[in-house]
Amino acid sequence: MKTRSVIVIGAGIGGIVAATHLAQRGFNVTVVEKNARPGGRCDHLIRDGHHFDTGPTLLVMPLLYDLEFQALGKSFREMVDLQRVDPTYRLVFDDGSQLSLTSDMKSLEQQLETFEKGSFQGLLRYLAEGGRHYHLGIDKLVNRDFRKMTDFFRLEHIPLLYQVKPFANHYRNVSTYFHDPRLRSAFTFQDVYMGLSPFEAPATFSLMPYSELAHGVWYPVGGMIRIVDALMKLALQAGVEFRYRSPVKRIDVNCKVANGVLLENDNYLDADIVLANADLPYVYQDLLPQDGVSKRLARKEFSCSTLSFFWGVDKVYENIGPHTLFLADDYRGNFQSIMRDFDLPADPSLYMHAPARLDAGMSPPGEDTLIAVVPAGHINDGNHQDWADISNRARQQIFSRLAKFGISDLEQHIKFEMCFTPLSWKKRYNLLKGATHGLSHTLTQLAYFRPQNRHARYRNLYFVGASTRPGTGLPNAMISGRHVANRIMDELQN
């Protein structure tokens, strides 16, 4: 029997996982990647001894990683050296008050009660709801492969309409548990991980703060790139071939079949199956014949973007913890500027990451490695967006925030700076509009309503990644890769 060939476009997490599952089942799999290394947005930079994760900087929902590595035949905890981070974050508010989120419930109770009397009991009720959302959401929505309408619209799913609160606004819902606006922001900011505003996100996403406190926030020693390294080890062991610096010019299609891919260097690779791990809106816009789908995708809601600064610093700033968030008082105004105006807020919230607090090898001795991330609007052709000016404003806002925090000399100690804007995300990773999380996760773009993993016309063309089902984030990417591999197997057998 002829061994079937698969071309995977893009060596992101979903592409690597799908390629590995297929190679383990006897397929001849080749991955073509435009960049010089695997990982997609889970990228890593090294300069002058400073190590930077350019994408995710912390590991959440660890149980999903355990399950997905188990599906690949290995133990996640044996392949990746994990360090638990607790307190998970230090939150700093405009009035100078601080909150350290921790799984130590006694410590958390003492802190919360200084913000609002009775708030700890509110937290316990909120976490109980988040736990229900987590278990039901993962089991009934994330881990289900909705290949057809009847897979989703079933009598057994009707209770989910009230069990996981998909029609309730997350911020409005959390307001029933806390009155202090600082606590409302402390337990909804995680929606940004999905590129969402908590004022638009479904209350379902209370599952994220629940998982952080119940299952922990973790750091792979060596950085998030160690997850990529572990997956690559499994892929290479399975026989997957990787070709780097090999951007695809177009997917060759004919009638109802994808025949292969044409690379930018005009080399042609034929295949029985093509699997695109490049961001879905980009695939339809740039790699396939125009059929109206790309325009429909472009009209969908996209996630926000970020301005990310990577600094090598010649002194150590011990008072900047591993994960520090500065949350603005004008929480709603921040998200309106980002999501509606596609701009930088006047007084933005920001995230600081100091990986050397967790792993001394991330910086040279006596120096520091710092990452500052400021959420911002994605590229919008209807707006005049001067990203050089916007990034400079964001930079100054960071220094201003840190000065209020007691750090007034950082700018003088920066040895070098690298900055990613939405233009960078678009160029590096082919993300339409520079939207760092692809299509947004609004109610009408969740679960079955998210673009499916197979092309409607070209029946041997499949999709994996952030803008397809089940959605963005590393665990979702691995689940997506497994689902697509299983679907390919099932449809070949039928």
pLDDT digits over 32-88, tens only? 999 999 999 999 999 999 999 999 999 999 999 999 999 999 999 999 999 999 999
pLDDT of residue 350: 96
In the block, which residue shows the tokens 């905890």?
77
Q: Residue 370 in 3-state DSSP?
A: strand
Q: What is the pLDDT of residues 419-441, one digit of tens each?
A: 999 999 999 999 999 999 999 98
pLDDT of residue 151: 80
- Sheet containing 461-463: order of strands: 241-243, 28-32, 5-9, 273-276, 461-463
Q: Which long-range contacts (CB under 8 A, 24 or more apart) does 110-116 make?
A: 112/183, 115/180, 115/182, 115/183, 116/178, 116/179, 116/180, 116/183
In this predicted structure, what is the pLDDT of residue 184?
98
How many C-beta atoms surround the C-beta of residue 92 within 10 A?
Answer: 21
**68: number of Cβ within 10 Å:** 21
Q: Is the peptide bond before 470 cis (omega within 30 degrees of 0)?
A: yes
Low-confidence ranges of the chain (pLDDT < 70): 1
| Per-residue confidence (pLDDT) for residue 373, from 0 to 100 | 97
Quote the pTM value. Answer: 0.95
Count Cβ atoms below 10 Å from residue 103 Cβ, excluding itself: 16
pLDDT (0 to 100) of residue 324: 97
